[in-house]
Structure 1
Amino acid sequence: MAIRSVETLDRHYSAFEGNWKVADCSAEYGRLVVPHGNSEEPLYRWFHLKEAFSSRLLDRLLHDVGLSVKANLAIADPFAGSGTTLLSGISACERNGHRAHVFGVERNPFIWELSHAKLQARILGNSIAGSFAAELEKIKKFYEDFKYDTFVIPGLSTLKNEKYFPAQYMQDLLRIRHAIDAGATQETRSIFRVCLASCVEPSSRLRRDGRALRFEPSRDPKLPWEIFLDRVDLVRRDLESTKPAASGGEVVLGDARQVSSLATEQEFDLILFSPPYPNNIDYTEIYKTEAWVLGCYESEAEMKAQRQRTVRSHPSVRFSQEFVYLNSAVAADVHSLIDPVVSCVPVGDRYSEGRKEVIIGYADDMLRVLVECRRIIREDGRLVFVVGNSLHGSGDSKYVIAADVIMGRLAELSGWRVSEVKIARMLKRRAGESAFLRESLVILEPV
């Protein structure tokens, strides 16, 4: 059954892909769709976001889509994440003697603050290094002043579990947060808060493995204040070595499905994004401890509401069952695209309905994003998305969600033409199970 399902879907996806140029570009792009090199790069190394792509991707991409020589590029990323597109867009343009205007949207409040802090640092650079150092001294003083204060631990049970966070360490993390709030100005507060966020995991016996938080009982938590000072020193050095940018930009807290209204009548030469993949990963859950320590949520209800506002890429929560495409002119085309995938979801287990909802909801959300992006692209502009496909189910009930093909077809229904699909890497651990188990860059042109 598994072989028949996989082969049936492979033929289904091939029927759409047959009209496109598809090329194996793994030699050029394989190391660029992962955060290769970011851990050594100033600004990029402030917080490890496993889902990021390389700071070096944009240089290669601008060359390949013919935009590297265009002056004063306007670049947008409706899934800004840790800000890689925004920072590398500024750097790539300024290396060529041009300015850039960058614009990003991010839904997760903690990750938004991460991208906002890094973009602020990239634009202002060493012009704020002096004030950053002076405000650190204020933070140190407030930290000492709060020595005997007891702070209310946020309502997340994970933070109150002393197997995960020693009680004194959690108090210390909160003490640092309150010292930042008291001692930092608006210009540097987010940068200091990112320094604090980078202390949360090392202060605990928890580890992010990309899919969830794992308890590591043998792990030795580190002292938060010591980690914080080390991180602040690294950030200070990065600020001092960063020349202020001639370019500008912003990242807003909002929804990629509404990007045209958030961009306030702007138009862009390049839209580059990597959306959440339909692979059952709940990013709100993975980065919840950082968000709670920073005070992004005040209750479990707020966090649940945040999860339900995100793209429908996983079945961890029950999302809205409203589907915009059903009332659109392309409803029949969308059905012909996703119905064969939905029909391969195994029935009879507790995950069946959630898995079907992921396929339908993800297609609906990506259609909305692509329609919105079409409204803000210049007529000679390009859109590039990076997305990975995934194998679901087990045993005789396996099926593939080829997100690159699904999104490519949805793009055609949204006023785009698929210029090329660049296969960046095949998922080697799944070799032989399907030709569509891959990660790709899909290049679109407006029509």
Structure 2
Amino acid sequence: MLIGGVPALDRHYSAVEGSWKVTDCSTAYGRLVVPHGNSEEPLYRWFHLKEAFSSRLLGQLLRDVGVSPRTNLSIADPFAGSGTTLLSGISACEINGYRANVFGVERNPFIWELSQAKLQARISGRSISDTFAADFEKIKKFHDDLKFDNFTVPGLSTLGNENYFPSDHMQDLLRIRYAIDAGASEATRSIFRVCLASCVESSSRLRRDGRALRYEASREPKPPWDSFVQRVAVTQGDLELTPPASSCGEVVLGDARRAASLATGREFDLILFSPPYPNNIDYTEIYKTEAWVLGCYGSDAEMKAQRQRTVRSHPSVRFSQEFAYLNSGFASAVQALIDPVISSVPVGDRYHEGRKEVIIGYADDMLSVLIECRRMISENGRLVFVVGNSLHGSGDGKYVIAADVIMGRLAELCGWRVAEVKVARMLKRRTGESPFLRESLVVLEPA
């Protein structure tokens, strides 16, 4: 039975998407909006990012959305994440006989290095495998030489908690990091650092469940060096299996809300991205241990600043209360779109203010991203974003944030046309509570 504000919001969302083509594409896309198959794919398997989509998604989209390849196909992802769009763009293009020029933007410094390393490896392929093997021998020697050194544990309290990280394991993680800094060449350093990052969780009694880090007292941490050697062997094999690419690309550390300026005037035939969903997950927090072990943050203040630079998709920190849409020519249209959602947040909810700020901030940020992407798209280009909707609150205070509908309407305001909403899957745990509890691919074209 529909309860609380859900039915009223369903009617609001239905009115907004009333003129759009909404299609059940679960057979084609249900397994592609999750990282299905990535754990078996060379390069993609280097680090498990639960939030990634499948390496096979982009190839399916190229067949479906009417992007016409030329000699070169330019592809952008302003939320590059682990680099799936960039890598799969190169592979899909080269399989079909043309070159890709890929461009990505990523805000999280650890995840940026992950995507950078994988992109570098995809372009260089086996041409750097000998260098990688030689550099590993240097790293091994430096690691042995540092055996009796005592390293200062980074300031994150989680890393200094011996229930989470045995002290000898933390020391060895730091020893490996310094050995990489000393022994790896510029061509391989980021790749080795990704190998190290992939060992951090297994070296601890912490488990990442997608929403938080959980302590498991019974978990037996693995020795970091043994795990690192295993990861290096997998990586070496992947490099040897990967032919050098004729394509090119880059991923920059920056803000998707400023993507056009970072792209320096370039235009793209396809923009594909999956932004953080408005579901209360703080990705800076989820991947903080890897970031601190790699030295991405030097203080709590640096990490806090990073959290506040991210998209306003969660209420874990107090974000800026400046909203660009209020000074735009379509402020009233944005307000009409989000007011019914805001009014559905229960007044008695202790997170009332934070949840309202998420709705407003998320809409404001996504509008900025869509405006930037409109500046970057070629005349006949397409933009596809993958996003999941979410149910919040409890009892009579439940409400749905239909991010696909909200973003589709925001796109219309800034020069896009919604060509199709491809519903990839319904969220089974919430079936029956709202038809908008779904994950979708929204296809846009220049209006």
CA distance in 1, matches of 2:349, 2:246: 56
Counterpart of 1:280 in structure 2 is 280
Aligned partner letter, 1:192: F
5 Å-filtered alignment, 1:103-252, equals 103-252=103-252
5 Å-filtered alignment, 1:293-308, equals 293-308=293-308
SS in 2 for 1:202: helix
CA distance in 1, matches of 2:291, 2:81: 14
Q: In 1, are the aligned partners of 2:4 and 2:399 still within 8 Å (CA)?
A: no
Q: % of aligned pairs identical? A: 79
Is 2:364 aligned against 1:361? no
Q: Which runs of 5+ in 2 are unaligned?
A: none
5 Å-filtered alignment, 1:275-424, equals 275-424=275-424
CA distance in 2, matches of 1:74, 1:270: 7
CA distance in 2, matches of 1:94, 1:435: 39
Query: 1:403-431 CA distances to partner (integer Å, 9 max, x unpaired)?
Result: 00000000000100000000000001100
Deviation at 1:68, TM superposition (A): 5.9
Query: 1:64-87 CA distances to partner (integer Å, 9 max, x unpaired)?
Result: 012264431000000000000000
In the alignment of these two chains, the number of paired residues is 447
CA distance in 1, matches of 2:394, 2:348: 14
Runs of 4+ residues over 3 Å off in structure 1: 68-71
Deviation at 1:2, TM superposition (A): 6.7
Query: 1:24-81 CA distances to partner (integer Å, 9 max, x unpaired)?
Result: 0000000000000000000000000000000000010000012264431000000000
Q: In 1, are the aligned partners of 2:423 and 2:439 still within 8 Å (CA)?
A: yes
Q: In 1, are the aligned partners of 2:112 and 2:252 still within 8 Å (CA)?
A: yes
Deviation at 1:4, TM superposition (A): 4.2
CA distance in 2, matches of 1:370, 1:69: 23
Deviation at 1:348, TM superposition (A): 2.2
Aligned partner letter, 1:129: S
Deviation at 1:349, TM superposition (A): 3.1
Is 2:21 aligned against 1:21? yes
SS in 2 for 1:226: helix
Aligned partner letter, 2:6: V
CA distance in 2, matches of 1:220, 1:4: 45
CA distance in 2, matches of 1:185, 1:353: 49
Counterpart of 1:442 in structure 2 is 442
Is 2:257 aligned against 1:254? no
Q: In 2, are the aligned partners of 1:22 and 1:420 still within 8 Å (CA)?
A: yes
Deviation at 1:96, TM superposition (A): 0.3
Q: In 2, are the aligned partners of 1:2 and 1:395 still within 8 Å (CA)?
A: no
CA distance in 2, matches of 1:230, 1:136: 12
Deviation at 1:186, TM superposition (A): 1.0
Q: In 1, are the aligned partners of 2:4 and 2:396 still within 8 Å (CA)?
A: no
SS in 2 for 1:170: helix
CA distance in 1, matches of 2:442, 2:238: 33
Counterpart of 2:5 in structure 1 is 5
Aligned partner letter, 1:199: C
Query: 1:352-384 CA distances to partner (integer Å, 9 max, x unpaired)?
Result: 000000000000000000000000100100000
Q: In 2, are the aligned partners of 1:2 and 1:398 still within 8 Å (CA)?
A: no
Deviates more, 1:215-224 or 1:59-68: 59-68
Deviation at 1:347, TM superposition (A): 1.1
CA distance in 1, matches of 2:265, 2:30: 35
Is 2:42 aligned against 1:48? no
Aligned-pair Cα RMSD in Å: 0.9
